[in-house]
Copies of this chain bind each other. A is one copy, B any other.
Amino acid sequence: MSHPLFEKHRATLDAALAAISTRAYWSPFNEMPSPKVYGESAADDGKRAFESHLGKRFEMDQPGQTGWHGGEHSPYGIALEVQYPVCSPQALIDAGQKAMESWRDIGADGRTGVCMEMLTRLNQHSFELAHAVMMSTGQGWMMAFQAGGPHAQDRGLESVAYAWREQSFIPETAHWEKPQGKNPPLVMKKHFQIVGRGVGVVIGCGTFPTWNTYPGLFAALATGNAVIVKPHSNAILPAAISVRLLRSVLKESGLDPNLVSLCVAAERDTTRALVTHAAVRSIDFTGGNAFGQWLLDHCRQAQVYAELAGVNNIVIDSTDAYKAMMRNLAFTLSLYSGQMCTTSQAIFVPAGGIQTDEGPKSFDEVCTDLAKAIEGFLSKPEVAHAVLGAMQSMDTVKRVEEANNGAYGRVVLKSNSLQNPEFPKADVRTPVLIACDASEESAYMEERFGPISFVVKTANTAASIALSERVTSTHGALTAGVYSTDAKVIDAMTAATWRSKVALSINLTGGVFVNQSAAFSDFHGTGGNPAANASYADTAFVANRFRVVQRRYHA
């Protein structure tokens, strides 16, 4: 008899398994923040739940607590002032290891059922989580709801589905009977026990504290591991709400809640001690190259799944929908003020210009028209604020100002500060667009995180494609795009992406954008270039998080 929560969620799991095998559209968690879906009172309840955390201690009932720590600064300028428990990493590790035993013993079906119950619980709290994500990251409301809620939950479930597929492939027992000619056969009974590798640490980022955390969190959990979530110092609340919900599901299921815990640390040394601990066997990280590389270099006891910096790029060769292309690019560059790991940074355009349905366009016209498209798109303040959100970090603001001042090249479109009437203290910036020559590699061939993009002048489209391949292979990219009416160009760009290993979007002119990826269908990152060594989600993301220990005896 399998676990009751497995039975409860079995139909959804089956649909998820079908989705990862076809990678057609599917989503169990509704992305519309609608009362029809989430209930008439859900929006108000969620807002109140979020507000109830502010200015208070966030009780977690975790072991080894030594104090409280907070200090999150909202990009929208509201006062958060939440205090979180500070716990000894050793206590969290010890408790996690202990909790792994009963977690192992309930088997893959039990773990899968409990993980799906956790995701369902998170989904019910989507409004509360959305406010927490919005206020800690600076995302606009709709993005905070979708990416912070249902889309993040989708990515979590995607991990659970892959984990189930691999674990359910391991037989519990085998009857092994080897013929011995005329003699009696050799007969053995074998048992195959799935065991987690050990405690996992998931290190969140400041911009997508749930979307980039749930894949590793649920991949590690579903495969039998305890998980310690170490949130970004400025985006603790969404992680804390999530972890507390997961702990409550564990407790209700008669399991040890210390399987999942939150590690909030006032000092960087605490994190370093945590991630290099011998008991920590997996680390999921999203963030910059400096700490990411440190993790890869120093955490040799663990499997490190890292999403790092990259230089996302687009090759523009020609188009039969010039205005739609510009609209599509304007949205991509504006969304969340370019503070996405998937935002395009370098746009390669031939020096001789491009052919379009509106006739030939020179390089300078492409620059100017893209600038106009962005300005036009952001001309209505309500659209601008909804799309741009607010600046997540002062480092990004500083980069934008440097770009505005010409530090990276000729400014085609200056970034403006906007005043958000609803949040007067929010720092809102529109994109800055730079034009430069392909030879000015030091300007564009390094991640300039935020709303800073480059239109890069190349000799011709063949040079653009070669440059895209080189940038991606050497500096990494999560996304690439191409615009062309010429099948040969698309084929050449496709072949380049097979070598540089980056997902390619071709001629996007409608309601799909290069910087967006859909769970169960789009692989986020290939894991094959410097921007990430793993993908959301594929088999490799889950298969090495557990091991199989067999035993055998004469039957």
Q: Residues on A close to B: CB < 8 A?
A: 21-25, 104, 166, 169, 171, 174-178, 180, 186, 188, 190, 192-193, 195, 197, 296, 300, 494, 497-499, 501-512, 518, 521-523, 526-528, 535, 538-540, 543-544, 547-554
Contact = CB atoms under 8 A, between A and B. Distances in A.
A90 to B, nearest CB: 18
B24 A505 contact: no
A518 B177 CA distance: 11
B178 A25 contact: yes
A27 to B, nearest CB: 8
Nearest to A538: B548
B539 A22 contact: no
Contact of A508 (B528, B544, B554): B554
28 contacts: A22-B171, A24-B174, A25-B176, A104-B498, A166-B539, A176-B518, A176-B521, A180-B511, A186-B510, A186-B511, A195-B528, A501-B547, A503-B549, A503-B550, A504-B552, A505-B553, A506-B551, A506-B552, A507-B553, A508-B554, A522-B550, A526-B548, A527-B544, A527-B547, A535-B548, A538-B543, A538-B548, A539-B543
A175 B24 contact: yes
Nearest to A198: B528
A360 to B, nearest CB: 24
B553 A528 contact: no
A205 to B, nearest CB: 23
B550 A504 contact: yes
A485 to B, nearest CB: 12
Contact of A190 (B190, B300, B521, B552): B521
A518 B21 CA distance: 31
Nearest to A482: B551
Contacts of A512: 186, 188, 552, 554
